[in-house]
Amino acid sequence: MRRIDLASAGFLLLEKRETPMHVGGVNLFTLPEGADEQEFLTSLRTQLRENTEFRKPFGEYVVTGKTGLYWEKDEHIDMDYHVRHSALPSPGRYRELFALASRFHTTLLDRTRPLWELHLIEGLQDRQFAVYNKVHHAAIDGVGAMHITQAMCTESPNGPPGYAPYSLEAYEAYKQSRFGNIAKTTNPSKRDMRNVLEALKQQYDSSINLATAMRRFGLAFVGRSGNLAVPWHNVPKTSINTRVSGARRFVAQTFAFDRVKEVCRGLDATVNDVVLAMCAGALRRYLLSRDELPLHSLKAMAPVSLREEGDVDSSNAIGFITADMATNIYDPEKRLRTIQESMRAGKDLLRELSPAEGALFMQLTQLPALLTSILGLGSKFPAFSTVVSNVPGPKKPLYWHGARLDGIYPASIVFDGFAMNITLVSYHDQLDFGIVACRRSLPQIQRIIDHLEDSLAELETVAGISGSAARSNNNRRSSHAAAKTRVKAKAKTRSKVKTKASPKAKAKTPSKAKPAAKTKAKRGARKSAVKPKLARK
Amino acid sequence: MRRIDLASAGFLLLEKRETPMHVGGVNLFTLPEGADEQEFLTSLRTQLRENTEFRKPFGEYVVTGKTGLYWEKDEHIDMDYHVRHSALPSPGRYRELFALASRFHTTLLDRTRPLWELHLIEGLQDRQFAVYNKVHHAAIDGVGAMHITQAMCTESPNGPPGYAPYSLEAYEAYKQSRFGNIAKTTNPSKRDMRNVLEALKQQYDSSINLATAMRRFGLAFVGRSGNLAVPWHNVPKTSINTRVSGARRFVAQTFAFDRVKEVCRGLDATVNDVVLAMCAGALRRYLLSRDELPLHSLKAMAPVSLREEGDVDSSNAIGFITADMATNIYDPEKRLRTIQESMRAGKDLLRELSPAEGALFMQLTQLPALLTSILGLGSKFPAFSTVVSNVPGPKKPLYWHGARLDGIYPASIVFDGFAMNITLVSYHDQLDFGIVACRRSLPQIQRIIDHLEDSLAELETVAGISGSAARSNNNRRSSHAAAKTRVKAKAKTRSKVKTKASPKAKAKTPSKAKPAAKTKAKRGARKSAVKPKLARK
């Protein structure tokens, strides 16, 4: 029995049927050349089910002890339950994939078992297959999930095949390859025991930095702390800040990392600033189209990692910065600058603190906001307007059992007061967005995908990047399978907010480009049967 | 707002994550000749989603009022949520179908919406497709579900196509065709308001019958009531009577109705007696193979319908008889006779009462046992050992949009103390069994299917029906698609309990028979791609 730390236990204790607390997402792959889909997936499924040793806590389930919650080893783990094999109905577009992922993301994990599920999904077009995974937030955070993806994959299609994602084997090999000779300052098993209350006891009285930070944070409430945005302060109410029901909708999209980087260079901003500006522009468009753009700017909760270098063990090492999304500002450049300043102020505050102090500061200031939300008060007292989470992912193309990883689309949590969650992962030369929303409160989140494109195109124009330059960037992307992730489904309707003729309409065309001829020729009988249907659309 | 009656509300109030309170099942169909699977299912899905008028309460959701629970109209029903389209992974055997149905049956319905889901499932072999449906027990009971299946279907493949299952249209047409000119003595809207407490007030003092019945029931506890079995009395503990977790396993099988009827004739027993004896024999075998056959006989809760003729409106009009399953008796004929006597005693007791009195009697005596179970005390004080529910279904072959209905496999509820539920439906010339169990407590329920066959074969021998006669009956069945429902998956291992060489092994062969050549020739490209895999197995 290992005690579950307080931050992780919170996700278990506050979970409700309407607000499941699992994270996960869809990983897209392309089958290795010449591989037969059914043989490949059947053999993969068998291998995954044969795994018997797990990294913690993936072989454990939750038990309630006298003094809290504990992980306890599951001696009879039912791998057929955890590793599942599903299929898409014809015609097997991304639309069908997202519909299935939406359903998977809706249901609660079984508390009597280790808190994860992994679904192999067949039936996609163009020799792709997908893996949907789902892990309780008590067991993992976004950065932790990235470590797992990286640990299961390899950097070559022909080398060793890779590992089962939650296996002990993958964990140990990864730790060795990445941090092998760096002396670890903290002992993993001790870190697992860390408890916010202990940290509080150790540090509260002694830390002068923390006291300063707390004072500055307090001043922001009364408008005397420069550009620092704080939760609850002037947060408007929109349809994003409502009570949520249990069902989810999931959509995803890839953007070329180079497009964002060029905007960064042109406007002297960080990737995170530009990503937030993309989201801010998209949210502004979305709210305008629904005729509910509020007078006050939206505030986004932007999680930041508080992990120390080399820490691949912590379940939850996240803090939050409140970003002013400047959605009330018409001019896209001014909007970007306002976001930039609020992020800078938030980061300055954190930078003055050590990681341990930072963690504590977050517990004291912003985590209560999260709890308000989870407790159902979020719709009455919104602490933020939405969540925009930017998770750094693998820098090189990855392969799993010889299959190329085409995209990593995260699916996170929504709760009362935050009916939408935008999470993105940087992977090699792309930014993969995954958006989750309450199906009832926000029925049209697929439009956000189009608004993100509009918003990026607008920033490109501001940065002086011509339409053709953007196009050429997109052309470069068209050889990557992931660029095809654009969902045409339902998103045809253009919003009324377009401020000018953007280069977007043209820039999009290349992503429709057909895959390389060689993969086409290899398609199985099923694909050809599906083909005419698609063409008829 | 309509008040939800007490019996139905009970299923809502006592639902837990570990014990979902929905019922449903899998309906198997064969595509109309010449129809393309994808076109057919897509068009069916579209039609189902276009329905806007529902029979009660399928367009309503549950609200909590000051004095209880109410149904309230859902003004924004999201039909994409309720009508879903899924697919089976290759090779698309019944094994994959049951794995998918097991997952569907595991998850809770969303309380903020009308309490039903309908899943069209493609990817089966031999031109079949499946429909999994799931309805909260607060909205329907087993007989009600049969009325819905019959209302949506037609008796001819070429006539009118049929209806959306929960549509008002289907409901009204069905009521008219079946009970058109029978004067209804009860007003449905009043019946919906009926409340056990009111019944209690009206009848408790006046009914002499009820008092007699109660006395007889009480005497059974002290062993002075002949063959009447009562709940809690001498109920042994087995692995079936444990706490359950949230996950389910579902398996199904068709048996030829004629085989059971011949046993009835040979042994002078009712269909229900023989079905209970089949189950008793199967349970005995199962428990013996796990080395846990108890000294005392298992008791089965056998629900009986308390509906009055022509009542298609009541959500829950069920009572229960406690059947002594005689699992401690080695001799199959003696076992049957003991079951028969306990059923006769239970029915005699009910026969003396009017339907209204019967309903009240059930509330007073056996429903508390159900509640004990639901409240989590069932594993400590098992009132029964299991549930065997025999639901009368359609007497003629049915069609839905021209597709032949091949089988109706019910999936019901398990809860603490009853980790297994056996429900069967009589349909035309077959008996369709659906078995649901807690995935954790009873990991091998697919064996029950084989034990049922062994048990029936044993009864055939006792009845003097030769192996060849049984075979010939099975041969007749082999032309029916539903006979193919036998699951080979995992069930190969024979239990050690076989008392003699049964004719079963041979009798099973015909069910493997391939479908008629004409359907084979029509298979699409996907099927042929799948074929070789199957042959290789």
If you measure CA to CA, which chain A residue comes closest to B245?
A112
Q: Which residues contact A32 (CB under 8 A, 6 or more apart)?
A: A40, A157, A401, A402, A403, A404
Return mean pLDDT, chain B.
Answer: 75
The answer to whether B81 contacts A247, with C-beta atoms less than 8 Å apart, is yes
Domain assignment of residue B292, yes or no: yes
Beta bridge partners of A60: A73
Note whether residue A273 is domain-resident: yes
Shortest CB distance from B112 goes to which of A84, A440, A524?
A: A440
User: What's the confidence (pLDDT) of residue B307?
Assistant: 55
For residue B325, tell me if it sits in a domain. yes
Is residue A193 in a domain?
Answer: no
Q: Is residue A201 part of a domain?
A: no
A60-to-A76, B56, B294 alpha-carbon distances in Å: 10, 44, 33
CB B30 within 8 A of CB B127: yes
Nearest CA in chain B to A92: B87
Q: Is the dihedral of CA A19, A24, A28, A33 positive or negative?
A: negative
A196 CB burial (10 A radius; 0-12, 13-18, 19+): middle
Mean of pLDDT values over B10-24: 84
The alpha carbon of residue A275 is apart from the nearest alpha carbon of chain B, in Å, by 32
Chain B (149-188) residues lying within 8 Å, Cβ to Cβ, of chain A: none
Give the pLDDT of residue A354.
62
pLDDT at B202: 45
Residue A67, amino acid: T
Percent of chain B with pLDDT over 70: 65
What value does the mean pLDDT take over residues B121-145?
88
Q: Which residues of chain B neighbour A91 with C-beta distances below 8 Å?
A: 38
Q: Decide if A428 touches B, using CB distance below 8 A.
A: no
Supply the pLDDT for residue B28.
97
A137 flagged as catalytic = yes
CATH number at residue B234: 3.30.559.30
- B303 has pLDDT over 80: no
Residue B524 forms contact with A (CB below 8 Å): yes
pLDDT at B352 over 60: yes
Look at residue A211 and tell me if it is in a domain.
Answer: no
The type of residue at B69 is L
Mean of the pLDDT values across residues B24-50? Answer: 94
Window 72-101 of B: residues touching A by CB (8 A cutoff) are 76, 78, 81, 84-91, 96, 99-100
Phi-psi group of A371: left, alpha or beta (phi > 0 → left; psi -120 to 50 → alpha; rest → beta): alpha
In chain A, residues with a C-beta closer than 8 Å to the C-beta of B100 are: 86
The structure tokens 């449905």 sit at: B188
Q: How confident is residue B55, by pLDDT bands cut at 50, 70 and 90?
A: confident
Pairing status of strand A386-392 against strand A420-427:
parallel
Give A240→chain B minimum CA distance, Å: 18
Residue B486 structural domain = 1-182+226-495+512-537
Nearest to A477 by CA among A424, A410, A432, A434: A432
Domain count, chain A: 1
Encode burial over A19-35: b for 16+ CB neighbours within 10 A, e otherwise: bbbbbbbbbbbbbbeeb
pLDDT at position B481: 35
> Which of B334, B244, B321, B322 has the alpha carbon at shortest distance from B284?
B334
| Contact B522/A at CB under 8 A | no
A444 touches chain B (CB under 8 A): no
Nearest by CB to A525, from B41, B122, B526: name it. B526
Three-state SS at B188: helix
Residue type, A36: D
Provide the pLDDT confidence category of residue B518 given band limits of 50, 70 and 90: very low
CA-to-CA distance for B453 and B473, rounded, in angstroms? 14
Give the span between the Cα atoms of A432 and B512, in whole angstroms.
Answer: 48
pLDDT along chain A (537 residues), means of 10: 78 82 93 94 94 89 85 93 95 95 94 93 96 90 74 84 83 72 36 37 45 56 57 68 85 96 94 94 94 86 65 58 88 95 80 62 52 50 72 89 94 83 92 94 90 96 76 42 37 37 38 38 36 28
Chain B contacts of A120, Cβ < 8 Å?
A: 89
Q: What is the pLDDT of residue A252?
A: 96
Residue numbers of A between 120 and 139 with CB closer than 8 Å to B = 120, 122-123
- The one-letter code for the residue type at A274 is V
- Are B113 and A247 a contacting pair at CB < 8 A? yes
Q: Is B396 exposed, middle or buried (0-12, 13-18, 19+ CB in 10 A)?
A: exposed
Nearest to A533 among B38, B88, B123 (CB): B38
Cβ contact A88–B87 (<8 Å): yes
pLDDT per residue as tens digits for the range B176-234: 776 654 433 333 333 333 333 344 344 444 444 555 555 555 555 445 556 666 555 56
Interchain CB distance below 8 Å, B90 and A440 = no
The residue among B85, B94, B101 whose CA lies nearest residue B124 is B94
Residue B188 covered by a domain: no
What's the confidence (pLDDT) of residue B502? 41
Q: Please name the helix (run of DSSP H) or strand (run of DSSP E) that holds residue B301, with its range, or none.
A: strand B299-305
Task: Give B81's pLDDT tier (boundaries 50, 70, 90).
Answer: very high
**What pLDDT, on the 0 to 100 scale, is given for residue A118?**
94
- Alpha-carbon separation of residue A237 from A181, A242, A243 (angstroms): 51, 8, 12
B22 near B136, Cβ under 8 Å?
A: yes
Whether the complex's predicted ipTM surpasses the cut of 0.95: no
Residues 6+ positions from A195 with CB-CB distance below 8 Å: A3, A5, A6
Residue A500 lies in a domain: no
Residue whose pair of structure tokens reads 């006769």 in the numeric block: B344
CA distance B165 to chain A (A): 22
Please answer yes or no on whether A529 and B524 come within 8 Å at the CB atom. yes
- Residue A489 CA to residue A94 CA, distance in Å, equals 9
SS (H, E, C) A281-345: HHHHHHHHHCCCCCCCCCEEEEEEECCCCCCCCCCCCEEEEEEECCCCCCCHHHHHHHHHHHHHH
0.80 cut: is pTM over it?
Answer: no
What residues does B268 pair with on adjacent strands?
Answer: none
- Indicate yes or no: CB of A246 within 8 angstroms of CB of B112: yes
Side by side, the strands of the sheet bearing B299-305 are: B248-256, B430-438, B420-427, B386-392, B299-305, B318-324
pLDDT attached to residue B532: 28
Of residues B123, B525, B533, nearest to A87 (C-beta): B123
- For A265, the token pair is 């260079």
Instruction: Please indicate whether, in this complex, the C-beta atoms of B108 and A107 are within 8 angstroms of each other.
Output: yes
